[in-house]
Amino acid sequence: MHTITPKFYCILLLIFISHNINGKEQPNEKIDIDLIVEAKHILTMDASNTILENSSIAINKGLIIDIADTHQINNKYRADRFISGKNRIALPGLINGHSHAAMTLLRGIADDRSLIDWLTNYIYPLEQEFVSAEFVRIGTELACWEMIRGGTTTFVDMYFYPEVISQVVNSCGIRGFVSSTVSDNQTPNAQNAQDAINGGEQFIKKWSKKSPLVTPILGPHAIYSLNLEQLKETRRVAASTDTPISIHLSESEFELEYSNQNYGMTSIEALDSIDFFNGRTIAAHVVWPTKKEIAILANKNVGVVHNPTSNMKLASGISPIADMLKAGVLIGLGTDGAASNNDLDMWEEMRLAALLQKVTKMDPEALPANTILRMATTNGAQIIGLGDKIGRLEVGMKADIIQVEFSDVHHQPSYDIASHLVYVTDEQDVITVIVDGKLIMHEDQFYTINTNRVSNEVATIAEKIRNSVKKN
C-alpha cells in the first residue's frame, strides 16, 4: 500500500489547478469578443415583439452572436468594449426609406409653397446653380451626422453624384442604399434620361461589391419626369444588374392628372402596364392610391415608404397607410429631404404617422405603436431586401443597434416601452449608435465624422446660397 504524503498531495493539487486555469478544460474561460451592449430593456422586434429585461447583446465581427441575461453574458464573454445599459433601451437601428441627403443644405430655403412651385421655382434653379460634387459631399456629411444623431443606421437616398454620396456613406459608417437619379431633364451630372441611365448602370457595376455599407440602386424620379419607355429602360437595367429601384409614386394630385392626361391611367396603373413592378421597388409617398392600385401594390410586393411630415408640409395629402397595411402592402417610413421636412428625425415620422391615421380614420386603434416601430425597423429592412440581415435583434443578424436613454424628465414614468418610444422619444434621446458592429456614436461623441469641419463647411456654402436667394 502506497501512502500519499502531504507534500506529494500538494504537488498534485497544484498541477490540477494549473491545468484547469490554463488548459482547455477550464469551464469558466471567457470568450474574447468585440463588444457587449447592456440594456434595461431590449426590443428585439422579432415576430413576437419580444422585450428582454436586464439583458445584454454580445457582438463579434459585425454580428450578434448572443443575447441573454446580463449576468450570463458577462460570465461567458470578455469584450474589448462594454456599453452600459442603465436606464437604456436597446433596439434595431432605424431605417429611413426615402431621403435626399444632400438637400440638407437647402433646409428651409423655400418653405410654405406647393410641391410644383417648390420644385420648379426654387429647388430646381438653386440645384442648377449650386449642386456640384463638393455640394453633395458636404450636404451628405451633414445629413449622415443628423441621421446618426437620431438613431438612423440605414437610409435610402436619391440624388446626384452617387459616387460622392457612396464615399461619404462609407466614411461615416452608416448603411446607405444610394440611387443614381434618373430624369429626362438636364441635371448636374447628366444631360438627359439616357445619359442618366447609362451613368447609373456604370455606378452600380462599380459599387456593387465595393463596400459592405453601400448598396447602389437606380432612382427614376417620377412618372412626370420620365416617359414610359424611359421607365421601362430603368427597369431593364435594374433587372440586368439585380438592383432595386426607388421612385416617387402617386405623390400628388398633379401626378395623377399628368398620368391620366398622358396615358389615360393613374400612375400606378401605367407603371403596372409596362411591368415596372416586376422587380424590387421602393415606392416613396404613395398618397393617392385607389383600392385597385392598393391591390396592385400588394400583389407585386411593392414596398411603400410613408413620408408623413413632407406630405403634410407640401399639402400632398394623407396616405391611406392603415388601408394599405390591411391589404397586405409592406410599409416603411422615411423623412424625405430636409428641404421639405425640415429635419431627418425618424422619431417624428413615427409619431406623426400614427397620429395622422388615428385622426383620419377617427379610430385611436388605427395604427398602434408596435406597428409603427416595425415600419421603422423590420418593414424597412424587408423593403430594401435586407430583412434577413437587419431590422431585428437576433443571433446571426448584423449588429445595427441603438440605445435610447429613458432617464430624462419626459420619460418618467414609463409603463409601455413601445408606446414611449413612438409617442415620447425624440432624436436627442439616442445615446448610442452601432452599425455593422462598429460604434459610431456614443454619448454625444462621433467617431466617424469631424463635426466641427462639417459645421464650418456648411456655414460657408449656406452664405453663398443665402446671397443668391437675396439677389433673386
Tell me the C-alpha distance between 73 and 85, whole Å.
Answer: 13
Among the listed residues 365, 305, 369, 302, the one whose alpha carbon sits nearest the alpha carbon of residue 331: 305
Mind listing the pLDDT tens digit for each residue in 315-335?
999 999 999 999 999 999 999
pLDDT for the residue numbered 188 = 85
What is the Cα 205 distance to its own chain's centre?
23
3-state secondary structure (DSSP) of residue 123 = helix
The percent of residues above 90 in pLDDT, for the chain, comes to: 85
Mean pLDDT, residues 447-462 taken together: 98
CB atoms within 10 A of CB 240: 10
Mind listing the pLDDT tens digit for each residue in 284-294?
999 999 999 99
Band (19; pLDDT cuts 50, 70, 90): very low
Tell me the C-alpha distance between 442 and 448, whole Å.
Answer: 11
pLDDT for the residue numbered 120 = 86
301 touches 379 (CB < 8 A): no
Mean pLDDT, residues 123-140 taken together: 93
pLDDT for the residue numbered 62 = 98
Mind listing the pLDDT tens digit for each residue in 53-85?
999 999 999 999 999 999 999 999 999 999 999
pLDDT for the residue numbered 27 = 54
Grid coordinates given for 436? 455593422
Mind listing the pLDDT tens digit for each residue in 202-233?
999 999 999 999 999 999 999 999 999 999 99
The percent of residues above 70 in pLDDT, for the chain, comes to: 94
pLDDT for the residue numbered 23 = 45
Grid coordinates given for 174? 452608416
pLDDT for the residue numbered 112 = 87
Mean pLDDT, residues 83-93 taken together: 97
pLDDT for the residue numbered 349 = 98
Average pLDDT across the chain, whole number: 93
Tell me the C-alpha distance between 399 and 401, whole Å.
Answer: 6
Mind listing the pLDDT tens digit for each residue in 293-306?
999 999 999 999 99
Looking at the predicted structure, is the pLDDT value of residue 148 above 80?
Answer: yes
Domains along the chain with CATH numbers: 94-391 (3.20.20.140)
Mind listing the pLDDT tens digit for each residue in 262-277?
999 999 999 999 999 9
Looking at the predicted structure, is the pLDDT value of residue 22 above 50?
Answer: no
Looking at the predicted structure, is the pLDDT value of residue 444 above 80?
Answer: yes
pLDDT for the residue numbered 5 = 53
CB atoms within 10 A of CB 154: 28
Tell me the C-alpha distance between 167 and 140, whole Å.
Answer: 10
Among the listed residues 469, 459, 471, 470, the one whose alpha carbon sits nearest the alpha carbon of residue 126: 469
3-state secondary structure (DSSP) of residue 189 = coil
Pairing of strands 175-182, 63-69: unpaired
Among the listed residues 164, 198, 165, 196, the one whose alpha carbon sits nearest the alpha carbon of residue 181: 196
